Amino acid sequence: MYTLLSGLYKYMFQKDEYCILILGLDNAGKTTFLEQTKTKFSRNYKGMSLSKITTTVGLNIGTIDVSNARLMFWDLGGQEELQSLWDKYYAESHGVIYVIDSTDEERLCQSKDAFEKMISSESLDGVPLLVLANKQDVKNCLSVPDIKTAFSDCAPKIGQRDCLVQPCTALTGDGVNEGIEWMVKCVVGNIHRPPRQKDIT
């Protein structure tokens, strides 16, 4: 009887909580992506106007519920001097969303270096990686194959981790659902990083 009731309680009131980092160079579109995600996945969420978003100094936090999972996002500032703070969050995270500005060919190499440094951290072993080729609305931007080619020498460091490169336009929401749904499937199925369990209040 106790088992039955406790199972029912868990089903009704507990959610598995996963922490997802949103990383990438400044101006890549991380905060825009987070706002768009909250708008799409939270009923009644009236997000801030996307045109009012300014560069992040520190971090933005956002939470969404998808099925029985609760995703808590940490959107960190991407400016060079803020990148040294990223690794403070690695040990707690269940997944990483890495945002690339597909219009910024000039800094693609810099973005690759930051990505490579990030995935080299042992604290992120086994964590799923969603790479967003953002700003696909802009004519002549880099395509997913262009980005895969530029990042190809990261493959050995990605190793067995789940990894998807997803085209995305954070500004309009294109590709956001696909990316989030993929991430949920990966973190829920990842036995290497068990979720935190939280009662819903």
Ligand X SMILES: Nc1nc2c(ncn2[C@@H]2O[C@H](COP(=O)(O)OP(=O)(O)OP(=O)(O)O)[C@@H](O)[C@H]2O)c(=O)[nH]1
Binding footprint of ligand X on the chain (CB under 6 A): 24, 26-32, 50, 53, 55-56, 77-79, 99, 134-135, 137-138, 169-171
Q: Shortest gap between Cβ of 84 and ligand X (angstroms)? A: 14
Least distance from ligand X to the Cβ atom of residue 185, Å: 23
Helices (H), 91-196: 108-119, 144-150, 155-158, 176-188
- In contact, 10 and 31? CB cutoff 8 Å: no
Active-site hit among 14, 36, 79, 160: 79
Q: Is 137 annotated as a binding residue?
A: yes
By CB under 5 A, tell whether 103 contacts Mg ion: no
Nearer to ligand X by C-beta: 166 or 190? 166
Is position 31 an interface residue for Mg ion (rule: CB under 5 A)? yes
The encoded tokens of residue 124 equal 């992120």
**25 annotated binding-site participant:** yes
Q: Give the nearer residue to Mg ion in terms of CB position, either 31 or 136.
A: 31
- The radius of gyration computed from the CA coordinates of the chain, to the nearest angstrom, equals 17
For residue 78, say whether it is annotated as part of any ligand binding site: yes
Q: Which is nearer to Mg ion, 36 or 56 (CB)?
A: 56
User: Binding partner of residue 93 among ligand X, Mg ion, none, CB under 5 to 8 Å per kind?
Assistant: none
Tell me, yes or no, if 79 is annotated catalytic: yes
Given CA atoms 68, 47, 29, 115 in this order, what sign does their dihedral have? negative
Cβ atoms 151, 115 nearer than 8 A: yes
Positions of E strands within the chain: 14-23, 59-66, 69-76, 95-101, 129-134, 163-167, 196-199
How large is the angle between the packed helices 30-41 and 176-188, nearest 10 degrees?
A: 80
> Is 60 among the annotated ligand-binding positions?
no
Task: Give me the active site residues, please.
Answer: 79
| Binding residues for Mg ion (CB under 5 A) | 30-31, 56
Binding-site residues for Mg(2+), please?
31, 56
Binding-site residues for GTP, please?
24-31, 78, 134-137
